[in-house]
Amino acid sequence: MKLGRYKRELSAAMAYAALLVLIGIVSPSFFSAGNLRDLALNNAPVLLVAVGMTLVILVGEIDISVVSQFAN
């Protein structure tokens, strides 16, 4: 596998990793179990909608009406 083919993806992954390291250094409590649990619980509705819409888009039935339903 040639890594040169994925230069754009690798640079984005490296920037993301650097951001996570920086957050870990500045605020070590960010990666605590309680905080990660709270993040997961607070963002669960968005995750469910995102997974559902990803599946809808993948089968070719493009539908953006969920945005108006989710905003309420």
Per-residue pLDDT of the chain (72 residues; tens, 9 = 90+): 676 788 888 999 999 999 999 999 999 899 999 999 999 999 998 888 888 888 887 887 776 666 666 665
Is the C-alpha dihedral spanning 11, 12, 13, 17 positive or negative? positive
Pair 71, 38 in one domain: yes
Pair 42, 65 in one domain: yes
Backbone torsions φ then ψ of 57, nearest 5 degrees: -65, -40
Maximum separation of any 2 CA atoms in the chain, in Å:
46
Residue 1 structural domain: 1-30
pTM score above 0.85? no
Pair 36, 26 in one domain: no
Pair 26, 54 in one domain: no
Pair 36, 23 in one domain: no
Length of the chain: 72
Instruction: Give exposure, 43-71, as e/b (b: 16+ Cβ within 10 Å).
Output: eeeeeeeeeebeeeeeeeeeeeeeeeeee
